[in-house]
Copies of this chain bind each other. A is one copy, B any other.
Amino acid sequence: MDAVYTAPGYLFRRMQQIAVAIFVEECKAYDLTPVQYASLVSIRAHPGIDATRLSAVIAFDRSTLGSVIERLEAKAYIERKPSPGDKRTKLLYLTKSGAALLRDIIPSVERAQARMLQPLKPADRKTLLALLTQLVDLNNEASRVPLRAEDALEHLGKTG
């Protein structure tokens, strides 16, 4: 019976499920999902980034990100502007309303992040985060969408 409950895959799925539930609960006043939040934060950090590079920066599937961007644009939190140099790409920018939302939501997000680890003793929280960070990093290539944080810098080399 506990062959299932102690399997790493089961624990990761369950923990992700719990983490999303906590995030949504803490942030329900803002109608923003974890994925949408991560996108906004990254666009703020890299104004003028394009969708493909954004997907690498937050380790998202490119196809999925398309609809996420659509929803953020529909809510007027971001804008898409055509790139002057490349007719294929559309550059992403926060709107004022998006920037304001981000400022407002941050306390709720931090409360959510804290709640996820709350049940553990402080020392155990640190240990868990350290091990997870290490594991995610070492397993980066195993995922279908490896994280490429450095990709975000490329467009800066070209445009600024």
The residues of A with any CB-CB pair to B shorter than 8 Å are 1, 3-23, 25, 34, 38, 41-42, 45, 58-59, 112-113, 115-117, 119-120, 124, 127-129, 131-136, 138-140, 142-145, 147, 149
Contacts and interface: CB of A to CB of B under 8 A. Distances in A.
Q: Is the interface of A mostly helix, strand, loop or mixed?
A: helix
Q: How many copies does the complex hold?
A: 2
B139 A11 contact: no
A41 B23 CA distance: 30
A18 B131 contact: no
A122 B151 CA distance: 33
Contact of A119 (B11, B138, B144): B138
B117 A38 contact: no
B13 A19 contact: yes
B128 A132 contact: yes
A119 B134 contact: yes
Given A9-B112, A128-B128, 18 more contacts: A5-B149, A8-B132, A9-B113, A11-B129, A12-B15, A12-B116, A13-B16, A14-B136, A14-B143, A18-B139, A18-B140, A115-B142, A116-B139, A119-B138, A124-B131, A127-B127, A128-B132, A131-B131
